[in-house]
Amino acid sequence: MITLKDVKENPEVDALITGAQKQLNALGYTEHGHRHISIVSKRAGDILEKLGYPERTIELARIAGYMHDIGNCINRVDHAHSGAILAYNILKDMEMPVNERAEIMMAIGNHDENTGSAISDISAALILADKSDVHRDRVINTNLSTFDIHDRVNYAVTDANLTLDEKERKIILNLKIDNKICPVLDYFEIFMDRTMMSKYAAKYLRIWFELIINDTRLL
């Protein structure tokens, strides 16, 4: 069976990740490289693990998380769709069974808030993992005077924790936002769609999504 380790060691995957980040650097986007995908991969798997899913389903979620942004190597626009097709073909060459690579393709193809939705357990876990990675470490631009709202909001987040309470059946995104850098309202200006997508992804997994910012429960 193909594992996350196998995918990480695939030079084609690594080249696409590197190329994707190179293109996003040129466009002025936040970080979508090895740091981000490693966090998303771990969180997606951890969510399903804590909910008691089979080991293989957990591993597929980790693989989907690691490969979910390779479409940025083609173009930021529709990167979820192009990335899904790239991942499917790479995993086919690696001889992953068709049912497994189809699951990963569906999850990657539905992770973007503009066109996607939770359509499977793996896709729901991927959405929650991806949308929860908001942090100043993702800001590539080092010139604060030229920050756009995305840079400013991400840079203002000094701490971001995603925890799952199995007994209460709820997943909690707990953020610390430096109000001296940007007001909390700015977070919702750019992340409302992502927040609602996370809420519905949690609902798909039959859990509750809770958002806490600066110790105040907002959702």
- What CATH code is carried by the domain that includes residue 33? 1.10.3210.10
Distance CA 56, CA 31 (A): 29
- DSSP-derived letter for residue 139 is -
- Judged against a pLDDT cut of 90, whether residue 28 lies above it is answered with no
| Mean per-residue pLDDT, 73-84 | 97
pLDDT at site 86: 98
Which residue is associated with the tokens 């600066």? 214
Summarize pLDDT for 119-168 with one digit per residue, the tens: 999 999 999 999 999 999 999 987 888 888 889 999 999 999 999 999 99
Q: What is the pLDDT of residue 142?
A: 78
Cα separation, 189 vs 152, in Å, equals 12
Helix (H, G, I), strand (E, B) or coil at 205: coil
List, for residues 79-99, the tens digit of each pLDDT value: 999 999 999 999 999 999 999
Domain limits for position 23: 4-217
Token digits for 145?
């005077």
Cβ contact 63:96 at 8 Å: no
* Segment 11-27, tens digit of pLDDT: 999 999 999 999 999 98
To which H or E segment does residue 170 belong?
strand 170-177
Strands of the sheet with 216-217, listed across from one edge: 157-165, 170-177, 208-213, 216-217
Please report, rounded to a whole number, the percentage of residues in the chain having pLDDT higher than 70. Answer: 100
Contact call for residues 165 and 172 (beta carbons, < 8 A) = yes
Phi, psi of 26 (to 5 degrees): -65, -30
Q: Give the chain's domain count.
A: 1
* Cβ count near 195 (within 10 Å): 17
d(CA 173, CA 135): 12
